[in-house]
Amino acid sequence: MQDRIVSSVLLFMAATLATSAATFGQIAPTPKAAIPDDAAQQKVLATVIEVYKADYDGGKTLEQKVELAKRMLRDGLTTKDTVAQYVLLRVARDIAADAGDLTTALQIVDQMSPRFAIDSVRAKAGIATRIAHLLRKPDEHKQAAPHFRAIIDEALQSDGYEIAKPLAEIALTSAIHARDRELLRYAMAQKSKVEALEQQFALIKSAFIKLDFRPADPNANFAVGRYHCFAKGNWEMGLPMLALGSDANLAAIAVQELTNVTTAADQAKLGDAWWDVSLELNGPLQQQVQQHAAQWYRKALPMLSGLTKAKIEKRLSDLSPQHQDTTPEPKSTTDPRQVAELVRRKLAGTKWVNSRNVSFEWTVDGRFLHSGDERAWSVVDGQRVRIVLKSHADVLVFNAEFTEFKQLVGSGPSDLRGKLIKRSP
């Protein structure tokens, strides 16, 4: 009975995605330009020096240098020449960094990132490291602290521990020089968090690699999903993996959350389920899961009464103050755009092309159950939907146009004209 309910709800979600996929598919990111080669940059740089040299030499104070950087930023954003734009923004960034203005330098990187194929997190970390050595006064260290935090958090999102770890050390040293007890407490906590996450990541790194070759592997999905949800608090990334994972209890809870949980009773039950899971954990992992349970409790609480309400209020009050309300409220997954964002994740895989010019590849991004077949789908780009059909030991994977996807929803593997490309290991 439960399988039929889950099947019906998720099939509805997939059908909803299909009917509005064409509209959603029109939203496509603007391609980033490649970083110009050195020869092209040097040619433009000579002109930049000629135009701005007098202003640079005339800038006797740091404030004047920063104003020049801001002017070059404005000029760079208005020019239509790609090479000139990159050089102007790069020089403006360096001038701001040399002047010790971390805010302006990072803002310039934020302008460069959507336009050019740069590693923005690594660039920001480099600037922060560079400017950290220029900070002298306690107030300067205090002003830099929020930027250090943000860059470290951004690095953690992509598991960039080689960036986050040294910057956490710098942030801690800066907090000591700031002579601010609260900043020091936060910097110490963030450094501990980075080290703990790095240890967790090292334990399941092989599972990440396995997903590149066997993205439907239950054990790997469980390990990586648990890491994303319990360690990092990235539930949108981790829940679909837990739903495909080897732990039957976690898979059932994850599938429940991926459906449309709207009634207070169901929201409270979902909170209870995650709370029970947390009791088997300890330390930061337990706190992360309890905070997630608390989000569902808060959604349900206004409509509850009696003993259930009293229990939930007691659990919420028992949460430590720093974990009272720090994570985003769980999102509804009925909006197809939210569903697409939820299940979309980048996976490498070998590709094939059949006689109908349909590309095939291994990937599982989300799933719904129908007639005993396991199906997975996600938005690949503005034109295609990636689909996985699994029946017994056979797995058929391909990218389909949106128009084809509409026809495929509700049909079985036998209705497809594709060639079987792989057997489940």
Instruction: Annotate the chain with three-state secondary structure.
Output: CHHHHHHHHHHHHHHHHHHHHHHHHCCCCCCCECCCCHHHHHHHHHHHHHHHHHHHHHCCCHHHHHHHHHHHHHHHHHCCCHHHHHHHHHHHHHHHHHCCCHHHHHHHHHHHCCCECCCHHHHHHHHHHHHHCCCCCHHHHHHHHHHHHHHHHHHHHCCCHHHHHHHHHHHHHHHHHHCCHHHHHHHHHHHHHHHHHHHHHHHHHHHHHHHHHCCCCHHHHHHHHHHHHHHCCCHHHHHHHHHCCCCHHHHHHHHHHHCCCCCHHHHHHHHHHHHHHHCCCCHHHHHHHHHHHHHHHHHHHHHCCHHHHHHHHHHHHHCCHHHCCCCCCCCCCCCHHHHHHHHCCCCCCCEEECCCCCEEECCCCCCEEECCEEEEEEECCCCEEEEEEEECCEEEEEEEEHHHHHHHCCCCHHHCCCCCCEECC
Q: 44-48, 407-411, 413-417: which has the highest mean pLDDT?
A: 44-48
In the predicted structure, residue 367 carries a pLDDT above the cut 50? no
Nearest by Cα to 390 from 379, 400, 398, 402: 398
What pLDDT is stored for residue 29 in this prediction?
A: 53
pLDDT at 398 over 80: no
Phi/psi at 132 (5° precision): -55, -35
Per the prediction, the chain carries an average pLDDT of: 75
Q: What is the pLDDT of residue 359?
A: 37
For residue range 56-75, list pLDDT tens digits in order: 888 889 999 999 999 999 99
Residue 25 has pLDDT above 80, yes or no: no
Alpha-carbon gap, residue 424 to 106, rounded angstroms: 47
Dump pLDDT digits (tens) for 198-241: 999 999 999 989 888 888 889 999 999 999 999 999 998 899 88
Domain 38-202 has CATH 1.25.40: yes
Asked whether the CA dihedral 239, 160, 190, 127 is positive or negative, the reply is negative
Q: What are phi and psi of 356, to 5 degrees?
A: -90, 10
pLDDT surpasses 70 at 420: no
The residue that leads in pLDDT, 6 or 310, is: 310
The pLDDT value recorded for residue 279 is: 95
Residue of 3 and 228 predicted with greater confidence = 228
- Domain boundaries in the chain? 1-32+334-425, 38-202, 261-331
Higher pLDDT, residue 59 or 325: 59
Q: What is the pLDDT at residue 302?
A: 92
Mean pLDDT for 257-286 is 92
pLDDT beyond 60 at 22: no
294: which 2 tokens? 């608390």
User: What does the block give as tokens for 114?
Assistant: 């959507």
Instruction: Specify the pLDDT at position 320.
Output: 61
d(CA 135, CA 149) in angstroms, rounded, equals 16
Q: What is the pLDDT of residue 23?
A: 33
- Is it the case that residue 316 has pLDDT exceeding 80? yes
Those residues with Cβ within 8 angstroms of residue 50's Cβ, 6 or more apart along the chain or in another chain: none
Percent of the chain surpassing pLDDT 90: 56
pLDDT higher than 70, residue 339: no
